[in-house]
Structure 1
Amino acid sequence: MIEDEPHLAMGLRFNLEADGHEVTVATDGESGLAQVREDGAAFDAVVLDVMLPGIDGFQVARTLRERGDYVPILMLTARGRPEDVLEGFDAGVDDYLPKPFELPILLARVRSLLRRNSWARATTPAPPAEKRAEVLRFGGNSFDPATLELRVGSLPYHLTAMEADLLQYLLRNAGTVVSRKAILEDVWDLHEETDTRAIDNFIVRLRRFLNEDPSRPRHVLTVRGIGYKFIADPVDPPREEGPAAPRRR
């Protein structure tokens, strides 16, 4: 846990340990990064506050992801605006819990991240087939919602929760044009006024995972002025789409 407020850190540590977890506490971003760097394999998840002395929680998450560390991250913050939530997910966090929060909700979120991480590491048996979400296949690739693993050909990639939710939404709506506003509301339950262009950053990352040529994407097409359309099994590299041209009279 990386939390600089002593009383909150002590209370969370007590309750997490009472729930059966072993907890290490860092009080600032630099020391938290140092602990994960020195013994990253020992940590199954990180509970991370945003407002920290020195580097903030957003930068901590970015640094971990940039060096290839995909330990699940639950971000805690009093900054609950949609823009702040998107910034957290854009930094690579897996889940986001605005303050104030109910303790049972936090404990449930931590358990969920730990289960997901154990499935991804294959250190525990996978959940029964009837309880697992189906593996989604497209164009010679596959995505497993249970482990957040995207396989492009034979190459595996671990997605953040937000990237995974977006990809699953696009896959399940393949062939249909979806607006940026619909993505915000249907995927991430963000109903307030938010800069919908923030979604473009996530689309860019998905295209990189899929080895898309930005000038001629095959799977994730931009429909100018509206949003995006996912093509599951493209035949030829299509051009980006625009709204239908008006009929001449």
Structure 2
Amino acid sequence: MHCVPPADGLPLPRGTGQRVLVVDDDPRVAELLETTLSLAGYQVTTANRGAVALRAYETVSPDLLVLDVMLPDMDGFAVCRSLIRNGARLPVLFLTARDAVEDRVAGFAMGADDYLTKPFSVPELLARVHALLRRAGTTAAPSPVLGFADLTVDERSRRVRRRGRLIALSPTEYKLLRYLLVNAEYVVSKEQIMDHVWQHHFSHGVVEKLVSRLRAKIDAQAPPLIQTVRGFGYSLRLPGDG
């Protein structure tokens, strides 16, 4: 599943385990939303019908609802009305192919907090989800420990470990690793790396040498985590993850 990489070297907003209920009857859209939000640090539950969403709400107690307007059994507005009648108080992001002004007005009047029209970009979706959760007070303080697979970085002590083994990095290697970690699973280009690590552009060979040094330390143990995506850049991901 393709996800749009961060633009201009900026990391995409990430969650801290908040629960998101996604309601969409299109399996492709539901899969994209579930994959994207899960990779961004959210706990995601999906539903393909309004009635299923109402039952899932009671079980999951989500922090945010991403709700398609056009559902086969009841529309998203009816789902929203039912939740409000039963005392639900959570941010709602309506997601729909409709773009008529009256639909947007109806959505906001129904209690929606935001409205995103299909097709949407992944960075915009993540930015809106993050903003809604922040306004609702459910964006927890970020953990000082970043992690992926068996790799951890403690941002307070600057200690890097893989499988518990301490790895010594130079300041430049640390900056690159942290950048790859906050964008784990996404592809970052050599230009984005230069902008983030040095705020200056060199030849691509400079980035390649830095990546090579970092690989020699981080990937000394299998499986390798720093992957080259030919023609695009680099990504921190497990082998075979695309």
| TM-score for the superposition, normalised by structure 1 | 0.46
Q: RCO greater where, 1 or 2, for CA within 8 Å and sep 6 or more?
A: 2
| TM-score for the superposition, normalised by structure 2 | 0.47
